[in-house]
Amino acid sequence: MNRHLISAADLSREDALRVLDTADELARVADRPIKKLPTLRGRTVVNLFFEDSTRTRISFEAAAKRLSADVINFSAKGSSVAKGESLKDTALTLEAMGADAVVVRHSASGAPHRLAGWLHGSVINAGDGAHEHPTQALLDAFTIRRRFGRHSDAKPEDQGGEALDGLRVTIVGDVLHSRVARSNIWLLHTLGAEVALVAPPTLLPVAIDDWPCSVSYDLDAALPKSDVVMMLRIQQERMNAAYFPSVREYSRRYGLDAARLRQLPDAAIVMHPGPMNRGVEIAAEVADSPRSTIVEQVTNGVSVRMAVLYLLLGGQEANQ
């Protein structure tokens, strides 16, 4: 792997599989009475969050602590940033404090890339604007692989390949504002999955023709052909115009309810990166059904982020 994790598009197939295989090994730590390894003892990981976050920040904090790293949580609210300190000055302050890795979430696309140019330590993108969220894509791929038996614990005759070759993943909803969708499209394509997008035309990016995916506007036509359906939240906080007539109309055409769930193949699964808008893009009975992997995704997020931190900071081999 490179020294930083800024974009899912930067990961080769070999890199991505290495993260997933490492996460498989580290997931076993959760079954131990003492859920800690001494791997990153003496290393410092800074969670630098300029946007509100619950799952991602806590997940990174848990991952770092399970690897015995020292963790510093930095929130823009109540810090010098609120007094006008620039991103670069904040970065230089963290550098002076001896940060070995900085996990950054920022509302501006490209902020992690800029940080990587200023810091000697590793930079991990935890979400930048509407650009990317690579560790979310990795945990989603990890969850898919485990659900379909394609991981190191599976018997060889049951694996069907170590990646996601041949699986069809349908991503539904607000692709325009979704950094999760962007990262998933690139990573899933790298791992051999066939990615399809379903959304209103107003919620698709202009340059979508250049992305490695197909596009449809008809959810009912896409569901019977899907192995995985990933529902996206409508990000109204990023919208400055009317992208659809009403929430009720959107839910009717693009929401996943119990009737639509029955259209999926028997082995298909339902995913959501969270937070969910129950009753809008996903019905409560679907979110809580056995086909849903939403809780698993949160659990798997810790293992995957442990793997990323381990590979970036764990030793000489990881940094070659």
Active site residue 179: no
Q: Which residue of the set 43, 66, 133, 189 is catalytic? A: 133
Tokens encoding 167: 């699986």
Are 170 and 230 within 8 A, CB to CB?
yes
Distance (Å, whole) CA 108 – CA 10: 19
Q: Output the CA–CA distances (angstroms, integers) from residue 112 to 9, 131, 143, 241, in the order listed.
A: 14, 11, 25, 28
Q: Which residue of the set 55, 65, 113, 278 is catalytic? A: 55
With CA atoms as reference, report the closest residue to 191 among 25, 18, 17.
17
Q: Which residue of the set 22, 56, 170, 190 is catalytic? A: 56
Contacts of 237 (CB under 8 A, 6+ apart): none
Distance (Å, whole) CA 258 – CA 250: 16
Tell me the DSSP string of 59-83. HHHHHHHHTT-EEEEEESTTSGGGG
Active site residue 3: no
Contacts of 143 (CB under 8 A, 6+ apart): 271, 293, 296, 297, 300
Residue holding tokens 């604007």?
Answer: 129
- For Cα atoms 67, 57, 126, give the angle at the middle one, nearest 5 degrees: 95
Q: How many residues does the chain have?
A: 320
Q: Which residue of the set 83, 120, 155, 262 is catalytic? A: 83
Radius of gyration of the chain (CA): 19
Active site residue 55: yes
Active site residue 262: no
Active site residue 133: yes
Residues belonging to the active site: 55-56, 83, 105, 133
